């Protein structure tokens, strides 16, 4: 049986709104290794109707790559009814307590918690029904669950490949298929994907991860056209990657290689607060696609599209340089 924790709801002041909250809970980083694996973070759903800044009435729901703490704080402060989902129950409770400890109970709703494991595909349909029962509907679904792995493609087992696909593709689309019919019948809703640049651009030693992100990106691109006639909006947000709060890229002689220069720019990433605020803007303005990156990754996407042979040569050179450096050690 799924665990559900529903706390007493407090009234929402319709003519009031709170400023965006920038406090955060920092997530753990993946442990080092040749094939590094980080488990899915908690998902986050925004059911029922909610008022956002600038009097924007939002009708959609969400799941994402980043730690959900920043997004949940931003939306909770804006007056959304939240259902926080994940399989780390203690972390969900800690996030719940952190949200209500800084909020004004007269103008916010107390979040509800639902246990959800994106890797347990057979149980997600039941969890979707449980989520719908929290408020009777879901207006905004934000998909932010993610599992990462790093290592040469030949060294990653097929079992790990399947786990990555379950967490990053089959799990999210199973939840979407559980929620979407209710949005279509009500002719309102929004589904948001916080993806990554690797949904558009493959990076060596991340083959399984990039494949899963390409798959979910393709699914959302198709879904967008399919549900437009039902007034259901589909949005994707693709940062380079979401960096931690205190870790900065290591200095070095990166100018010696185009590959290294590109990935040094890529490694700066996007701050979690920036991503959370962009998710809020995307929901309120119903944006279809957002790409959060500095000019270097954006240029790489254009090179990949219009000059593929040049792009592949640069990437291959980077891999050869990496192997050469390892042999010298």
Residues annotated as catalytic (active site), given as ranges: 209
CA 246, distance to chain mean position in Å, is: 20
Sign of CA dihedral 183, 21, 39, 202: positive
Strand segments (E) across the chain: 4-5, 36-38, 43-46, 50-52, 56-58, 61-64, 83-86, 112-115, 140-143, 148-150, 189-194, 232-239, 289-292
Quick check: 259 and 243 in contact, CB under 8 A?
no
CA 308, distance to chain mean position in Å, is: 28
Residue with token string 């949940």: 72
Q: Is 84 exposed, middle or buried (0-12, 13-18, 19+ CB in 10 A)?
A: buried
Residue with token string 């916010």: 108
Measured CA to CA, the distance from residue 234 to residue 248 in angstroms comes to 33
Phi first, then psi: give them for residue 142, nearest 5 degrees: -110, 115
Token digits of residue 275: 């991503």
Count of residues in the chain: 329
Q: Residue 61's beta-bridge partner residues?
A: 191
Closest Cα to residue 237, out of 190, 204, 182?
Answer: 190
Residue with token string 């890229």: 249
Residue with token string 């000059």: 307
Closest Cα to residue 209, out of 88, 39, 31, 29?
Answer: 39
Q: Is 110 exposed, middle or buried (0-12, 13-18, 19+ CB in 10 A)?
A: middle
């Amino acid at each position: 049986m799924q665990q559900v924790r529903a706390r007493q709801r407090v009234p929402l002041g319709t003519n009031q709104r709170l400023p965006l909250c920038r406090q955060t809970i920092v997530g753990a980083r993946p442990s080092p290794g040749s094939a590094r694996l980080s488990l899915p973070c908690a998902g986050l759903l925004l059911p029922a109707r909610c008022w956002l800044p600038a009097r924007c009435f939002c009708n959609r729901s969400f799941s994402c790559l980043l730690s959900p703490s920043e997004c949940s704080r931003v939306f909770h402060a804006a007056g959304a009814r939240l259902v926080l989902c994940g399989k780390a129950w203690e972390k969900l409770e800690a996030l719940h307590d952190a949200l209500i400890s800084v909020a004004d109970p007269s103008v916010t709703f107390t979040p509800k918690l639902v246990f959800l494991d994106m890797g347990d595909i057979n149980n997600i349909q039941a969890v979707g029904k449980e989520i719908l029962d929290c408020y009777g509907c879901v207006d905004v679904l934000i998909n932010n669950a993610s599992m990462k792995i790093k290592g040469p493609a030949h060294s990653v087992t097929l079992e790990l490949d399947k786990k990555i696909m379950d967490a990053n593709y089959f799990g999210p689309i199973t939840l979407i298929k559980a929620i979407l019919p209710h949005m279509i019948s009500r002719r309102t809703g929004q589904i948001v994907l916080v993806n990554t640049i690797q949904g558009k651009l493959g990076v060596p030693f991340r083959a399984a991860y990039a494949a899963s992100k390409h798959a979910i990106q393709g699914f959302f691109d198709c879904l967008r056209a399919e549900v437009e006639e039902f007034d259901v909006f589909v949005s994707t947000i693709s940062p380079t990657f979401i960096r931690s709060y205190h870790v900065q890229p290591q200095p070095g002689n990166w100018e010696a290689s185009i590959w290294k220069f590109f990935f040094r720019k890529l490694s700066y990433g996007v701050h979690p607060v920036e991503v959370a605020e962009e998710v809020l803007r995307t929901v309120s303005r119903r944006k279809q696609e957002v790409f959060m990156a500095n000019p270097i990754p954006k240029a790489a996407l254009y090179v990949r599209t219009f000059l593929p042979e040049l792009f592949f040569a640069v990437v291959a050179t980077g891999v050869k340089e990496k192997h050469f450096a390892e042999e010298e050690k």
